[in-house]
Structure 1
Amino acid sequence: MLKKGSKLNSILTGSCPRCQEESMYVDQNPYNLKNIYNMHENCSHCGLHYQIEPSFFYGAMYVSYGLTVGIGVAVFIISKLILGLDLITTFIAIIVGLIVLMPITARISRNIYINIFVGYDKEATKK
């Protein structure tokens, strides 16, 4: 489904953006909240250092903000405009949706952020 070498593949799978051979995360389950942000230091396949600079992933907070706004708007449209729920129920649905999707949003925002700066390198997959 997802073509290896595409940024979308790396973003959705959480794989190394350079070689896409292994997961960046120690625990692949984002709902294991104890290990949600635990990442490998480097890719064991191509050697990419994931923390490009100190506090690199603070920038992912801005990406996360955009994602949560998008999710909130989508849940609002679905619950209020499509399902016709009242305003209080709609806001409860938004809050529940954001809480349930928080681990995925946190990981996806990190994946998007590192993929902005690191691209796929076909030669890195041969190492």
Structure 2
Amino acid sequence: MKFLQGTKLYSIFKGTCPVCQKESMYKESNPYKITRIFDMYERCSYCQTKYKMEPSFFFGAMYVSYALGVAVSVGAFIIAYVFIGGGLMTTFFAITLTLIVLMPIILRLSRNIWINMFLSYKEAA
């Protein structure tokens, strides 16, 4: 993933600081540790970028999370219904299971996308 460094995609997929991309924004790198999924550093230790620019900043990430959830659901539907040929209930359970399993990743990705909409990479001088 080094070839993407300096782009928003690198910061989104790696969860690094959107400005310097040198440090993870999250205290726990594993999103499946549910009790620590929201634990973020206050600032980047390299460039001092404040991650929560204002109170309730990441509430906007809910909109991104909704869009990602719909995209994942459509993907699960296509795989379960079209390719596997499951019935209506099988497809419903496949979509539900997929959303439950991928919920922590969708949550983190939506936060990463949201903050990257407002902050951009700045190359070190």
Q: TM-score range by the shorter chain?
A: over 0.9
Report % sequence identity: 53
Rounded to whole Å, the distance in 2 between the matches of 1:87 and 1:29 is 33
Aligned to 1:29: 30
Q: Which runs of 5+ in 1 are unaligned?
A: none
| Shift of residue 82, structure 1, vs aligned partner | 1.0
- 1:100 corresponds to: 101
Aligned length: 124
Verify: 1:51 aligned to 2:72, yes or no. Answer: no
Superposition RMSD in Å: 0.8
Q: Where does residue 64 of structure 2 map in the other structure?
A: 63
Indicate the SS of the match to 1:117: coil
Post-superposition, which runs of at least 4 consecutive aligned residues in structure 1 deviate over 4 A? none
Q: What residue in structure 2 maps to residue 77 of structure 1?
A: 78
1:78 maps to amino acid:
I
Deviation at 1:47, TM superposition (A): 0.3
* Cα displacement string for residues 74-115 of structure 1 (whole angstroms, at most 9, x for unaligned residues): 000111011111110000000000000000000000000000
Unaligned runs of 5+ in 2: none
Q: Name the CA distance, whole Å, in 1 between partners of 2:119 and 2:34.
A: 26
TM-score, normalization by structure 2 = 0.97
Q: TM-score, normalised by structure 1?
A: 0.95
Whichever residue aligns with residue 5 of structure 1, its letter is G
Task: Confirm whether residue 109 of structure 1 aligns to residue 87 of structure 2.
Answer: no
